[in-house]
Amino acid sequence: MDTKRLLFLLRQPPYGTSHALEALESILVAGVFEQRVSVLFRDDGVWQLVGGQAGEVLGTRTIGKVVQALPQYEIEDIYVCATSLAARGIALNDLVLPAQPLDVGAQQALIAGQQVVVND
């Protein structure tokens, strides 16, 4: 298995479907398998980053806590779409972990530099 530059593009909100959690689980595995992983949260995917989540109210895992665990699996290149945050009134310090905000041009450059992009 070669090491690939692999970006996970996360656009789905948490809790309403299993997409967010299952995508995050695959990202953790990618970290274990030593791929060069980046993660880009955009559109409703940015809701996964918001602090104050309480999944236990629904009897489920808190997605924000899973996101917070990414750096423990060597996933540190975490990006967020600046426009998606602004459109939802979310500030950078509302997020559960540091994420680098990117404008559209920077997101295009990020994607162009990948060998594989997996969506949620």
Partner 1 sequence: MIFGIAVHGAPYGSEASASALRFATAALAAGHTLHRVFFYHDGVNLANGLTVTPRDEPSTQADWIALAGAHGVELAVCIAAALKRGLVSDAERERYDLQAASLHPAFSIVGLGQMIDAVGCSDRFVTFAS
Partner 2 sequence: MATLHLVNRARALAGCLELAAPEDAILLIEDGVYGAIAAAAPARQLYALAADVTARGLEQRLAHTVLLANDADFVALAVAHQPIVSWR
Token pair recorded at residue 111: 């994607």
Q: Which of residues 70-109 bind partner 2 (CB under 8 A)?
A: 83, 104, 107-108
Q: Exposed, middle or buried: residue 37 (CB in 10 Å: 0-12, 13-18, 19+)?
A: buried
- Asked if residue 11 binds partner 2 (CB under 8 A), the reply is yes
> Using CA atoms, how far apart are residues 9 and 114, in angstroms rounded to an integer?
11
- Asked if residue 118 binds partner 1 (CB under 8 A), the reply is yes
C-beta atoms surrounding 102 within 10 Å: 20
List beta partners, residue 101. 80
Binding mask 31-70 for partner 1 (x = CB under 8 A): -xx-x-----------------------------------
> What residues line the site for partner 2 (CB under 8 A)?
7, 9, 11, 42-43, 83, 104, 107-108, 111-112, 114-117, 119
